[in-house]
Amino acid sequence: MERRPMKVVLFCGGYGMRMRGSSADNLPKPMQLVGPHPLLWHVMRYYAHYGHTEFILCLGYGAQAIKDHFLRRAPLEGDFVLHRGRTEPLTAEMRDWRISFVDTGLESAIGERLLRVRQLLEGEEMFLANYADVLHDADLPQMVDRVASDEKTVASVITVPPQDTFHVLETDADHRVTKITPVSTMDLQVNGGLIILRQEVFDYLEPGGDLITGAYQRLAEEGRAIAQPHRGFWRAADTFKERAELDQMWNEGNRPWAIWE
């Protein structure tokens, strides 16, 4: 099946409250470091590996820090050439990236953020979307092919086992514990963030609404939404601890999400 580059919408505007308490409180979550690069760079590098290098960043909280990184810091990372006052990286890693920075509001839900960049997606039969803090090694081409081969499907989301360390306790009528089950071992699937959408999704989005509990839910009721299970590496950096664990993995050379290496 012929594969064409698609635009990638990344939701970067959340407050990241569970990331607070780190030594970098002033940084928005997408700019928290894993190794020498921000979380957002890792997400973008994953898509670029598959040839998807046109990004639309839905900004909100910390928008200026994200803009500053790409306008000032990113061109100076690694080896670069300075010529007539302009910098150019020696490696082609980011040279071909095209990035649109769109302020989509401080309090906007994900669906509303997507609506606010709709004009940048006109003419795109299919496009990709994701959060800015999820790292994985999912087979993106395979997932795209599945959606492309089924015209009925408008929305697809990757699903993964729950990552929580909590346990479910079952009790009898006297509240005596009869069974303890780790949530991660239960036959459950949660939203893993990698989203593939057709243009028709905008017909299901409501102003101010959410993407998953709103448009995706309505599409599911019509049989037009699918889940694509992933059982490989997947990790969300939603808290300072999770980000620190990913940073340690990077520094130890254990980087299963870095499929471009």
With beta carbons less than 8 A apart as the criterion, state whether 1 and 145 touch.
yes
Domain with residue 214: its CATH number is 3.90.550.10
**What proportion of the chain, given as a percentage, has pLDDT over 70?**
87
Q: Does 258 fall in a domain?
A: no
pTM of the model: 0.87
Q: What per-residue confidence (pLDDT) applies to 83?
A: 55
**pLDDT tens digits for 123-180?**
999 999 999 999 999 999 999 999 999 999 999 999 998 877 778 889 989 988 899 8
Q: Does 256 fall in a domain?
A: no
Q: How confident is the model at residue 216 (pLDDT cuts 50, 70, 90)?
A: very high
Q: Does 261 fall in a domain?
A: no
Q: Does 150 fall in a domain?
A: yes
**pLDDT tens digits for 178-199?**
998 887 777 778 899 999 999 9
**pLDDT tens digits for 73-115?**
655 555 556 656 565 554 556 778 899 999 999 999 999 999 9
Q: Does 260 fall in a domain?
A: no
Q: Does 257 fall in a domain?
A: no
Q: What per-residue confidence (pLDDT) applies to 51?
A: 95
Say if strands 155-160 and 98-103 run parallel, antiparallel, or are unpaired.
unpaired
Element (H, E) at 46: helix 39-49
What is the residue whose two structure tokens read 């979550």? 29
Q: What integer is the mean pLDDT of 38-46? A: 95
Q: 17 Cβ partners below 8 Å, 6+ apart?
A: none
Cα–Cα distance between 105 and 254 in angstroms, integer? 36
Q: What per-residue confidence (pLDDT) applies to 77?
A: 58
Owning domain of residue 177: 7-251
Q: What per-residue confidence (pLDDT) applies to 165?
A: 72
What single-letter amino acid sits at 231?
A: R
Q: What per-residue confidence (pLDDT) applies to 70?
A: 84
Say if strands 134-136 and 177-182 run parallel, antiparallel, or are unpaired.
unpaired
Structure tokens that stand for 199 in this block: 């243009």
What single-letter amino acid sits at 148?
A: A
**pLDDT tens digits for 8-24?**
999 998 775 555 555 45
Q: How many CB atoms lie within 10 A of CB 230?
A: 19
Task: Provide the number of structural domains found in the chain.
Answer: 1
With beta carbons less than 8 A apart as the criterion, state whether 50 and 140 touch.
yes
Q: Does 213 fall in a domain?
A: yes
Q: Does 21 fall in a domain?
A: yes
What single-letter amino acid sits at 226?
A: I
